[in-house]
C-alpha cells in the first residue's frame, strides 16, 4: 500500500518541511508554509522507466529554426508583448484581478486562431458552456473551429487535447483543475503545481501552445506556489483600474523575447480594443490653464506615451498632513517633496499633497520626476504651466537634473501631438526637430523655465 505522509510546503519556493514553522528555511519567507498530503502517484514509476523516442537527444544543427517561430494571435497589442505571437510548444501564464478582462482577451485570441483555420480549445473550468457562448456572441467570436469544454478533471482534459489535437489551448483557470490521483483539494499547492507540470509536458510533446489563467492575491501577485511561474515559459500581467477603460498588458517573464514591451487596450461593450496610439486617450479630457497639471513624455518598453500628471496641494486641518499618490510611488513622492523644500525653497508643511497619473497609468520610471515636481510647485504657487509644455528628467538628491533614457523618442512623440516646448536636463541628447527644447541643470532653473518662478531663488 502506498504510504501517505503530510508535509508543509512553501508557497513561494516550493520547498517541503516535515513540520510547520513561521519562516521558510529555504527562502526565508514568512507564513508561507501550507499543509499538504503527499502520496506516490501510481504512474510515477512507469513515467521514469524510459523516455519516448521524440525526447531522444538530437544534433542541434538538425533542428529547423522555423519550427519555433511565433504564430500571431491576431491581436496586435498581445502580439507586441509576446514578440510576434505564441511559440508552438510554449506555456503562457496570464494573471490579473477578477473582472479585468482575462477571459475576454483569451476568447478573442482563440476566435482569431479559429478563423485562420487552426483548431482552438477553450477549457472553461469556472463558467458554464452557456455563459461562455453568450460572451462569445457579444464578442463576435462564434467560430465553428472553436471548441469548448467545462471539464475540471486533468485526465479528461488531457484526453480531450489528444482527441482534438488543437494548435492553441486555453485553461481558465489553473487553480480549478484537479488530478484525482493526488488526493488534494482543488487550488492547493500540490494540485496547482502537478497539474501545471502535466500540461507543460503535453505542450512540449505535442507542440501546441497552452495559455493558463492564474488567480491573483490581494497584493496583485499570482496565487499559488512560486514554482508555477518558474515552470512556464511566459508570465503575463493584465492590469488596469476597474473604473477606467484602460487595460495594460505586461510580460513579467518571457523566454522568447523582451519583457519591456507594453500592450494597451480599451475595454468596450464589444470587448477589448487595441490602442496603437494611446496618448490621445490620456490627454483627451485635459483642461488648459489649470495649476498643478504637467504632461510628461514617458517610455514603456519601446513605446513613447504622453501622460498628464496632476498635483493638488491644499491646507490641511490634520496634525499629520496627507500624502497620497495614485499611479506614482509613494516613497518617491516623499523624496521629491524633500528635494523641493531643501533645494528649491518651497514649503509643503501643513498641506495635504495629492499626486495622480491620469488614465490609470502607473509612472514607475524616474524620468517622470521633473514633471511631478513642476506639478507640485505649480499647485502650491497657483502658477499654471503652459499647455504646450512637456517635461521629463530624473531629479537627484542635490536638486540636479539627470537625463532620462530615450529622450529623443519622447520629444518626437510630444512634437507629433502638437507640443511646442520641452524642459529637459542640460545633458539630454540633441537632435529633436519640431519642438523647442529648453535645458536646465537644476530643479530651480526648471521652475524658472516653467514660469513658476520669475527669477532663480
* 163, HSE (Cβ side, Cα atoms, 13 Å): 8
Model pTM?
0.77
Ranges of H-type helices in 34-153: 44-48, 76-82, 102-115, 129-138
Within 33-85, residue ranges assigned H as helices are: 44-48, 76-82
pLDDT at 46: 42
pLDDT of residue 102: 92
Q: 100-118 b/e with 16+ CB inside 10 Å = b?
A: bbbbbbbbbbbbbbbeeeb
Q: Would you give the DSSP letter of residue 276?
A: S
Which secondary structure element, helix H or strand E, spans residue 265, and what is its range? strand 262-268
The CATH number of 69-274 is 3.40.50.300
- Each domain of the chain, given as residue ranges in start order, spans 69-274, 281-449
pLDDT at 135: 93
Q: Is 19 exposed, middle or buried (0-12, 13-18, 19+ CB in 10 A)?
A: exposed
Residues comprising the chain, all counted: 457
Alpha carbon distance 429, 183 (integer Å) = 62
Whether residue 257 is preceded by a cis peptide bond, meaning omega within 30 degrees of 0, is no
Per-residue pLDDT tens digits of the chain, which is 457 residues long: 445 667 887 776 777 788 888 888 888 888 888 777 665 554 444 444 444 545 678 888 877 766 678 999 999 999 999 999 999 999 999 998 888 899 999 999 999 999 999 999 999 988 999 999 999 999 999 999 999 999 999 999 999 999 999 999 999 989 899 999 887 778 778 888 889 999 999 999 999 999 999 887 666 666 666 678 888 999 999 988 777 788 889 899 999 988 888 898 988 888 899 987 788 777 878 888 899 999 999 988 778 899 999 999 999 999 999 999 999 999 999 999 999 999 999 999 999 999 999 877 889 889 999 999 999 999 999 999 999 999 999 999 999 999 998 899 999 999 999 999 999 999 988 767 889 999 999 999 999 999 997 655 4
- Identify the pLDDT of residue 281: 74
Cell numbers that stand for 191 in this block: 494540485
Which CATH fold topology does 281-449 show?
Ribosomal Protein S5; domain 2 (3.30.230)
Amino acid at each position: 500500500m502506498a504510504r501517505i505522509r503530510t508535509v508543509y510546503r512553501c508557497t513561494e519556493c516550493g520547498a517541503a518541511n516535515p513540520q510547520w514553522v513561521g519562516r521558510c528555511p529555504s527562502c526565508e519567507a514568512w507564513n508561507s508554509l501550507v499543509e499538504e498530503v503527499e502520496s506516490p502517484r501510481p504512474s510515477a514509476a512507469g513515467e521514469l522507466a524510459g523516455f519516448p523516442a521524440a525526447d531522444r537527444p538530437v544534433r542541434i544543427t538538425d533542428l529547423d529554426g522555423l519550427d519555433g517561430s511565433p504564430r500571431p494571435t491576431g491581436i496586435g497589442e498581445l502580439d507586441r508583448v509576446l514578440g510576434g505571437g505564441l511559440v508552438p510548444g510554449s506555456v503562457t501564464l496570464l494573471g490579473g484581478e477578477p473582472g479585468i478582462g482575462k477571459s475576454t482577451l483569451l476568447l478573442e485570441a482563440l476566435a482569431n486562431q479559429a478563423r485562420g483555420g487552426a483548431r482552438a480549445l477553450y477549457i472553461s473550468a469556472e463558467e458554464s458552456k452557456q455563459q461562455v457562448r453568450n460572451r462569445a456572441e457579444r464578442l463576435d467570436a462564434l467560430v465553428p473551429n472553436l471548441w469548448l469544454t467545462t471539464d475540471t478533471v486533468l485526465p479528461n482534459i488531457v484526453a480531450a487535447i489528444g482527441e482534438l489535437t488543437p494548435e492553441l489551448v486555453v485553461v481558465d483557470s489553473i487553480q480549478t483543475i484537479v488530478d484525482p490521483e493526488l488526493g488534494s483539494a482543488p487550488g492547493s499547492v500540490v494540485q496547482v503545481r502537478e497539474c501545471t507540470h502535466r500540461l507543460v509536458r503535453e505542450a512540449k510533446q505535442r507542440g501546441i501552445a497552452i495559455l493558463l489563467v492564474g488567480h491573483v492575491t490581494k497584493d496583485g501577485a499570482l496565487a499559488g506556489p512560486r514554482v508555477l511561474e518558474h515552470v512556464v515559459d511566459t508570465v503575463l500581467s493584465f492590469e488596469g483600474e476597474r473604473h477606467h477603460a484602460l487595460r495594460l498588458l505586461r510580460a513579467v517573464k518571457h523566454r522568447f523575447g523582451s519583457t519591456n514591451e507594453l500592450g494597451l487596450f480599451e475595454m468596450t461593450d464589444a470587448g477589448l480594443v487595441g490602442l496603437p496610439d494611446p496618448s490621445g486617450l490620456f490627454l483627451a479630457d485635459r483642461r488648459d490653464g489649470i495649476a498643478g497639471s504637467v504632461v510628461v513624455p514617458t517610455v514603456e518598453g519601446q513605446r513613447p506615451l504622453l501622460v498628464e500628471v496632476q498635483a493638488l496641494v491644499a491646507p490641511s486641518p490634520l496634525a499629520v498632513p496627507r500624502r497620497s499618490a495614485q499611479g506614482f510611488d509613494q516613497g518617491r513622492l516623499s523624496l521629491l517633496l524633500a528635494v523641493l523644500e531643501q533645494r528649491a525653497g518651497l514649503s509643503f508643511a501643513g498641506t495635504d499633497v495629492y499626486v495622480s497619473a491620469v488614465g490609470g497609468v502607473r509612472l514607475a520610471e524616474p524620468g517622470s520626476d521633473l514633471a511631478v515636481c513642476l506639478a507640485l510647485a505649480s499647485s502650491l504657487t497657483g502658477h499654471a504651466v503652459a499647455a504646450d509644455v512637456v517635461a521629463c528628467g530624473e531629479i537627484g538628491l542635490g536638486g540636479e537634473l539627470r537625463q532620462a533614457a530615450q529622450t529623443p523618442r519622447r520629444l518626437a512623440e510630444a512634437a507629433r501631438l502638437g507640443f511646442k516646448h520641452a524642459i529637459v536636463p542640460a545633458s539630454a541628447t540633441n537632435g529633436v526637430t519640431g519642438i523647442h527644447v529648453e535645458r536646465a541643470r537644476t530643479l530651480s532653473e526648471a521652475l524658472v523655465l516653467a514660469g513658476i518662478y520669475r527669477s532663480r531663488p
